[in-house]
Amino acid sequence: MKNGKSTLYDDLKRQILTMELDPDEDLDEVSLSERYGLSRTPVREVFRRLAGEGYIDIRENRGARVIPMNHSTLRNFFLVAPMIYAAIGRLAVQNFKPRQLAELRDTQERFRTASEMHEPLSMVLENNRFHEIMGEMSGNVYLRPSLGRLLIDHARIGHTFFRPRNEDMNKRLKLAVEHHDGFIAAIADHNEDAVVDLVFDHWELSRENMEMFIAPEGLKADALVEVPAMLSMEKSS
C-alpha cells in the first residue's frame, strides 16, 4: 500500500506527463502538504527527487515549478531525440534481460488495451513506460537520464496524439501500436538493425504528430495580426 509521499510522487509525475500541470506552473508546497497529509519535509524530498529526474525545477527563494517548455527546449528536443532513441534501441538489444522483455510485453498489452478502449491518459502513461523500459534495457548510466528528460517533453508535446479526433489519427495510433509490437519482436530476435529502423519510423510518426500539435493545420501565422487590423478599419469607418 502506498503512503502519502509515494502517492504525491506518482501523482505529480502523472500530472506533468499528461499536462494536467502546465509547463512552468508553480507547485504550492503548503497546499500539497495539506492535501496529502504530509509535513513540508517529505514534500520537499519529493520535489528534490522529481527535480533530479527532470520533471520540476527548484528555484532558490522562489519554490518549485514544473519544468518549462519553450522554443529552446523544443529545438533541442527535435535535434537530439532520434539520436538518443537510436542509441538506446541498439544498446537495449545488446543488454536486455528476460524479465525486462516480459515487462515490456506486459506494458505493451496495457497500451494496446488503453488504445482500444480510447483511454488517452492511460495511453500516455503506458507509452511513456514502454520507452522507459527500453532505457532500462540499455543499461547505460549516461544515456538513461537523457532519455528520461526526452520522454517528459515527448509526452507533453505529443499527448494530444492519444486523443484521436479523425480517422487519420486513428490510423496513426494503430501504427504506433504496431511499431511497439515490432520493437518487442526485434529485441527478442537480437536484431539491432531492425530496432534502429523501427526507431526512425516511430520517430517520424511521432514527429509528424507533434508538429500537428505545435502548429495545427489551417492556423495562419498572420491570423492574429489580421483581426486587429480589421477591427481598426471598422472603428475608422
Residue 19 and residue 62 in one domain: yes
Phi, psi (deg, nearest 5) at residue 38: -120, 155
pLDDT tens digits, 86-125: 999 999 999 999 999 999 999 999 999 999 998 888 999 9
Is residue 221, in this structure, part of any structural domain at all? no
CA nearest neighbour of 160 among 120, 203, 122, 117: 120
Last-in-domain residue among 23, 48, 66: 66
Total structural domains within the chain: 2
pLDDT at res. 157: 84
Last-in-domain residue among 37, 66, 95: 66
Residue 55 and residue 98 in one domain: no
Is residue 61, in this structure, part of any structural domain at all? yes
Residue 111 and residue 165 in one domain: yes
To which residue does cell 533541442 refer? 76
CA nearest neighbour of 180 among 133, 130, 125, 121: 130
pLDDT tens digits, 118-159: 888 899 999 999 999 999 999 999 999 999 999 999 998 877
Residue 78 one-letter amino acid: F
Residue 91 and residue 23 in one domain: no
Is residue 231, in this structure, part of any structural domain at all? no
**Which domain covers residue 88, as residue numbers?**
71-214
Length of the chain: 237
- Residue 4 makes CB contacts below 8 A (sequence gap 6+) with 36, 37, 38, 42
Is residue 147, in this structure, part of any structural domain at all? yes
Report CA-CA distances (Å) from 103 to 109, 126, 195, 220: 10, 11, 18, 44
Residue 160 and residue 194 in one domain: yes
Residue 90 and residue 202 in one domain: yes
What's the pTM value of the predicted model, to 2 decimals? 0.83
